[in-house]
Amino acid sequence: MRYGPEILRQSDLLGAISQDEGRLTRTYLTPEHRRAGEHIRAWMRDAGMEADFDALGNVVGRYRAADPGAPIVITGSHMDSVVDAGKYDGVFGILTAIAAVKDLNARGTRLPYTFEVVAFGDEEGVRFGFSMIGSKALAGTFDPALLDRKDAQGVTLRDALVAFGGDPSAIASLKRDPRRVAAFIESHIEQGPVLLNEGLAVGVVTAIAGATRHLVRVTGLAGHAGTVPMGARQDALAAAAEMVLFVERHCETRPGLVGTVGKLGVLPGAVNVIPQDVEFTIDVRSADDAVRRAAVAAIVTGCKDIARRRRVAVTSMPFFAADAAPCDATLQRQLAGAIAAHGIVVRHLPSGAGHDAMMFPAVAPTAMLFVRCGNNGISHHPGETMTAEDAEVATAVLLHFFEHYEPPAS
């Protein structure tokens, strides 16, 4: 094998760079982000690219075409992780691209376009509560008002960025010119079991599901756990529990719709005090934007009904929304051609997970290659796995695609 074992070795190395003892957590603008980015930058340079951190802490590698006016093709994925993450989510898409460039460079092959490999600093949104900071900036949709958002320690994104060595005033300049960018291609582990169950190493993504996220606050009345009669309580947690089950019930009855409450906090949080304040998040996704919007509206109404009945107050604030992103038909066909050229049955499948690629259809035709993961497809979990053989096949397929891809004449 030429690429797979090295990609897994690099994934192991990055997987050990964590801000948590004994588990992988690597969030945006931390010393661990810096260390992981430095390794990636060194690997990019070793592969023959010019590479450096940009103003937002993304690491950008460039494998230049001979013609400085040539179009640009961007690939890449994210180097941040969720809390207690697997080693391949995001990182695989960066490492496979570096392996592909290293191979091209070793053969002295230049492409008819400048090839940019981007390791995005933030996709998961763990630290500041909103996601895809890097890819939004490249797409020109980063809202500068977000620089005032704080992390759990009260540090603003602006201050964290300056401390990292970034430059908040240069974010607008990261926007890529849609007239220059011919395509955005991301490869990523599937994070599900479809390819595994069908015995296929890779597949072509048809569309990325859209997502809406809300922060819900429920306010009841604290009181003595031993003295307030059951019928007289305004228990914010009991109301929130009903709301959580409402989300589950609503989403499980509609095909293609998923809803998750992934975070919940209770105050005052004492064994003998009735909960007064509860905050929780809702994440609703569907490949059909109308279905997602209708579900969010129904969930908000449902939460209000529950609150009224239980005599508590509820507010619900959206903090993230991304429309579903269809993948470009021509690029899908070309990726399918590269897969077929390797003797693999072509499987098309949608992505339920969000990806940096979602931000790019406004800039350029966008597509994604999925790679099989093992262990039932588990992801956002330390049990996430993939094999060197699959990393090898995926890199070979990508190389085939990139070497045959010709940017349309502009």
CB closer to ligand GLV, 213 vs 400: 213
Which residues in 209-250 belong to E strands, given as ranges? 210-219
Site residues for ligand GLV, 335-364, by CB under 6 A, read 353-354
Report how far residue 368's alpha carbon sits from residue 207's, in angstroms, rounded to the nearest whole number: 9
Report the residue number, 166 or 354, with the smaller CB distance to ligand GLV.
Answer: 354
Q: Where are the beta strands (DSSP E) in 171-312?
A: 181-189, 202-208, 210-219, 258-260, 264-267, 277-286
| Shortest CB 124 distance to ligand GLV, Å | 6
Cα–Cα distances in angstroms (integers) from residue 145 to residues 121, 200, 212, in the given order? 19, 44, 19
Tell me which residue has tokens 């897969």: 339
Q: How far is the CB of 281 from Mn ion (least distance, A)?
A: 15
User: Binds 354, which of ligand GLV, Mn ion, none (CB < 5 to 8 A, cut-off by type)?
Assistant: ligand GLV
- Interactions with Mn ion, residue window 275-334 (CB under 5 A): none
Q: In terms of CB distance, is 132 or 244 closer to ligand GLV? A: 132
Distance from C-alpha of 263 to C-alpha of 35, rounded to nearest angstrom? 28
Instruction: Provide the minimum distance between the beta carbon of 228 and ligand GLV in the complex, in angstroms, as a whole number.
Output: 39
Contacts of 225 (CB under 8 A, 6+ apart): 271, 272, 273, 274
Residue nearest to ligand GLV (CB): 354
DSSP class per residue in 134-194: HHHHHHT---GGGGG-B-TTS-BHHHHHHHHT--GGGGGGG---TTTEEEEEEEEE-SSSH
CB of 103 to ligand GLV, least distance (A): 28
Establish how many alpha carbons lie within 13 A of residue 174's alpha carbon, considering only the half-sphere containing its beta carbon.
28
Distance CA 284, CA 182 (A): 31
Q: How far is the CB of 353 from ligand GLV (least distance, A)?
A: 4
Number of residues in contact with ligand GLV under rule CB under 6 A: 3
Among ligand GLV, Mn ion, none, the one that 365 touches (CB under a kind-dependent 5 to 8 A) is none
The residue among 182 and 189 lying less far from ligand GLV, judged by its C-beta, is 189
Residues 144-183 that bind ligand GLV (CB under 6 A): none
Please report, for residues 153, 275, 304, the alpha-carbon distance to residue 269 in angstroms, rounded to integers and kept in the order given. 20, 7, 23
Stated length of the chain:
410
Q: Which is nearer to ligand GLV, 70 or 296 (CB)?
A: 296
Under DSSP, the state recorded for 365 is -
What letter represents residue 59's amino acid?
V
CB of 354: closest distance to ligand GLV in angstroms? 3
Of 272, 286, 188, 270, the C-alpha closest to 225 is 272
**Which residue, 90 or 361, is less far from Mn ion as judged by CB?**
90
48 binds Mn ion (CB under 5 A): no
Q: Which is nearer to ligand GLV, 94 or 393 (CB)?
A: 94
DSSP code, position 224: B
Least Å from the CB of residue 263 to ligand GLV: 12
Name residues contacting ligand GLV, limited to 114-143 (CB under 6 A): 124
Report, in Å, the least distance between residue 379 CB and ligand GLV.
8
Scanning residues 69 to 128, which ones bind Mn ion (CB under 5 A)?
A: 89-90
Q: How far apart are CA 102 and CA 286, in angstroms?
A: 37
Give the shortest CB-329-to-Mn ion separation in angstroms: 24
- Give 74 or 132: the residue with its C-beta nearer to ligand GLV: 132
Nearer to ligand GLV, 72 or 386 (CB): 386
- Contact indicator for 259, 297 with CB cutoff of 8 Å: no
Using CB under 5 A, list all residues that contact Mn ion.
89-90
Using CB under 6 A, list all residues that contact ligand GLV.
124, 353-354
